[in-house]
Amino acid sequence: LALAPRRALPGLRRAMASRVKEDEKNERVIRGLLKLPANKRCINCNNLGPQYVCTNFWTFVCTNCSGAHREFTHRVKSVSMAKFTAQEVTALQGGGNERAREIFFKEWDSQRNPYPDSSNTDKLRNFIKHIYVERRYTGERSSDRPPRGKV
C-alpha cells in the first residue's frame, strides 16, 4: 500500500528529464551560435562575448546594450540564466547578428557612424534608438524620399 503513490513518479520523472534534456539541448545550440564570428561580438558596440539575446531582433548583445535595449522596452534574455524555448532557439538560428546586420545596419557606415563606446550610456541609447527605433540604416527611407534629392 505504501508503494502505491510512487507509481505516479516514473512518468513525472521522465517528463522532467526530457524537459531538462530539452533545456540542455537549447543551451548547447545557443552556445554554438555564440561561436559564429558575427555573434562573437555585441552587434551594437562591438564588445567581445555578448551574454544577452534581444528577442525583438534576435541579436546577441553585451550587458550594457541589454540595459539600453530594456529602456526601449525591447525584450532581452540572459544566455546563461534564462531558459529558451525551442521556438526561440529556431528564431535565433535563423536570426543572429549577421542577419540583423543585413536588415538594420544595411546602410550603416562605420566610418561616418562609429560604434558607440559601451561605457557611455547616452551614446549607446542614442545608437540603439537610431538603429532599431528610427531604423535609419535599413534602406527603407530612401524609397519615400523623392529621387531628385539624391542627384
Could you list the residues that contact Zn ion (CB under 5 A)? 42, 44-45, 47, 62, 65, 118
Toward Zn ion, which CB reaches closer, 22 or 129? Answer: 129
Nearer to Zn ion, 54 or 62 (CB): 62
Are the beta carbons of 141 and 70 closer than 8 angstroms? no
84 or 127: CB nearest Zn ion: 127
Min. distance of Cβ 108 from Zn ion in angstroms? 15
Helices H / strands E in the chain, number of each: 6, 3
Q: CB count, 10 Å around CB of 33?
A: 20
Cα–Cα distance, 16 to 25 (Å, whole number): 14
Q: Is the dihedral of CA 85, 90, 95, 97 positive or negative?
A: positive
Buried-state track 130-140, b at ≥16 Cβ within 10 A, e below 16: bbbeeebbbee
Smallest distance from Zn ion to CB 42, Å: 3
CB of 43 vs Zn ion, minimal distance in Å: 7
Q: Cβ closer to Zn ion: 26 or 47?
A: 47
Q: How far is the CB of 111 from Zn ion (least distance, A)?
A: 20
- Which secondary structure element, helix H or strand E, spans residue 145, and what is its range? none
